[in-house]
Amino acid sequence: MSFQKKNFSYFWLSTLCIWLLDISILCAVFTEPSMQKYIRTAQRKLTDLTHTNFHTVPADRKIVTFTFDDVPASAFEQAAPILDQHGIQGTFYIAMTFMEGHGPETMYNLDHLKAIDAKGHEIASHTYDHFHFYQAKDAAYIAQDLDKNTAEFARLGIDQQLLNFSYPFGEQTTLAKKNTHIRFQSSRGIDRGINQGKTDFNNLKAIQLYEGKYPISSMEALLDEFDKEGGWLIFYTHDVEENYSKYGCSPSYFEQAVKLCVDRSFEMKTVAEVVKELVK
Ligand SMILES: [Zn+2]
């Protein structure tokens, strides 16, 4: 073998080794559990481009919506009366699998649902089984679950139509959006932000009312900013009790957040009311 030919073979052999090494590194990196979070973030960003439902949220409006996910009994018992006192209606995204459930928190029961229905609060959907969309096998499974949640409300005699939706764990996959898009007028995610201008109503942004994460002083600063910028600010939380979880807040924190909005004369509406007004 000539020197040149030998050199040529070494070149391809070393290139092949580098490729194999690269592929094995990539495989190792992408199967690493800590990488899953970043992969999902990337997936979510890609999903932002599919099954969109854009409408305009005018910047000269200052609309605030209080929403609850799952929903723990404490939100019905502690937060709803605070909203009622101020004549505000909220949106409760309910996953029926949690009814009368007792885990780390006591969940809602039928009386809770009937009480908020009677007070004019919105009841919305949050899937039946509160499953992970990332693990959902196919569209049929998702469709069945969403229809089951809606059917359960009708079976229990609650007349409200479930018009709006929030993604459990904020997992708005392409398949999720495809299914929620044909069933609901809007779907709320967990991307932090205020909805303003061109807004995807299939992935509404929201702000957490998580007391352990955001002290009330930061909430004040955020609301001052919102007062200047305008748009549609959707709050979301879970439990509202003295021993709040990391996904919730205390009743006093919730009350302060409500008062800060009332003092600034923001428009307080349910998701359904905003959609009705802004979706032409
Ligand atoms: Zn949830």
Q: What is the pLDDT of residue 28?
A: 60
CA of 127 to the centre of ligand 1 (A): 9
CA of 25 to the centre of ligand 1 (A): 35
Output the average pLDDT for the chain: 91
Neighbours of ion ligand 1 (CB under 5 A): 69-70, 168
Q: What is the pLDDT of residue 20?
A: 64
Q: Is 34's pLDDT higher than 90?
A: no
CA of 94 to the centre of ligand 1 (A): 8
Q: Is 102's pLDDT higher than 90?
A: no
Distance, in Å, from the CA atom of 228 to the CA atom of 189, rounded to the nearest integer, reads 24
- The pLDDT of 216-241, averaged and rounded, is 97
Cα 200 to Cα 8, 49, 97, 186, distances in angstroms: 55, 9, 28, 9
According to DSSP, the residues that pair with 66 across neighbouring strands are: 235
Q: What is the pLDDT of residue 38?
A: 79
Q: What is the pLDDT of residue 197?
A: 97
Q: What is the pLDDT of residue 105?
A: 86
91-94 and 122-125 strand pairing: parallel
CA of 68 to the centre of ligand 1 (A): 9
* Residue 210 · residue 237 · CB < 8 Å: yes
Predicted TM-score (pTM) of the model is 0.86
